[in-house]
Amino acid sequence: MAEAPAPIEIPNRALFKASEVCELLKVQPYVLRTWESEFPALGVAKAAGGARVYRRADVEQVLRIRHLLLVEGLTLAGARRRLEEEEMPVGADAPAIEALIGQNARERLTDIKRGLRAILDLLGGRGAVPELRLTPPRPPAPRVRPMPMSPGKGRGKSPAARSHPRRKRSA
């Protein structure tokens, strides 16, 4: 891991040009464009003249990405995961789980538990289960291919003529 660089002070402005962000954070423009494509949360906008502009929050996000990649040594995918984890509030997934389970969750879970216990009893041989026998599947019947009839082999000769060796003609 690299040493932690000196803290960077971001000027108190609303918008920054891409060149200003590159100069401020000491990164090349192609690096900044790569990070834009890898991190869709960066809210880069195009100004009227076509230049890319960044909000202050975007510059702070780019600074965080730079820190994760260069100081902590994470990959782009690792940095993306870390940022997603940081943005996710604690307990945010609890309402989603409640919606998936529904209101009669305890009853359904009890039914599932009973079913799993029944399967466990079957596998353990504790239940009154008739003996099951597994038999291997029968091999498939061999395929019989018809002999191809090729009209070019005999060249019009009868089968008997084809089986005899050629006779030499006497001159």
Predicted local confidence at residue 95, as pLDDT: 58
pLDDT one digit per residue (tens) for the chain, 171 residues: 455 566 777 888 888 888 888 898 888 989 988 888 888 777 677 767 777 788 888 888 888 999 898 888 888 888 888 888 887 765 555 555 556 566 677 777 888 888 888 888 888 766 555 565 667 777 777 777 777 766 655 555 555 555 556 666 665
Return the SS3 of 92. coil
Cα–Cα dist 18/49, whole Å = 13
pLDDT at 117: 87
Could you please state the CATH topology (level 3) that the domain comprising 15-87 is classified under.
Answer: Multidrug-efflux Transporter Regulator; Chain: A; Domain 2 (1.10.1660)
Name the residue ranges covered by the structural domains of the chain: 15-87
Amino acid 131: pLDDT: 61
Strand (E) or helix (H) holding 148: none
**Phi and psi (nearest 5°) for 16?**
-135, 140
Element containing residue 109 per DSSP (H, E):
helix 105-124
Per DSSP, helices labelled H in 39-104 are 56-66, 76-87, 94-101
pTM of this structure = 0.47
pLDDT for the residue 53: 84
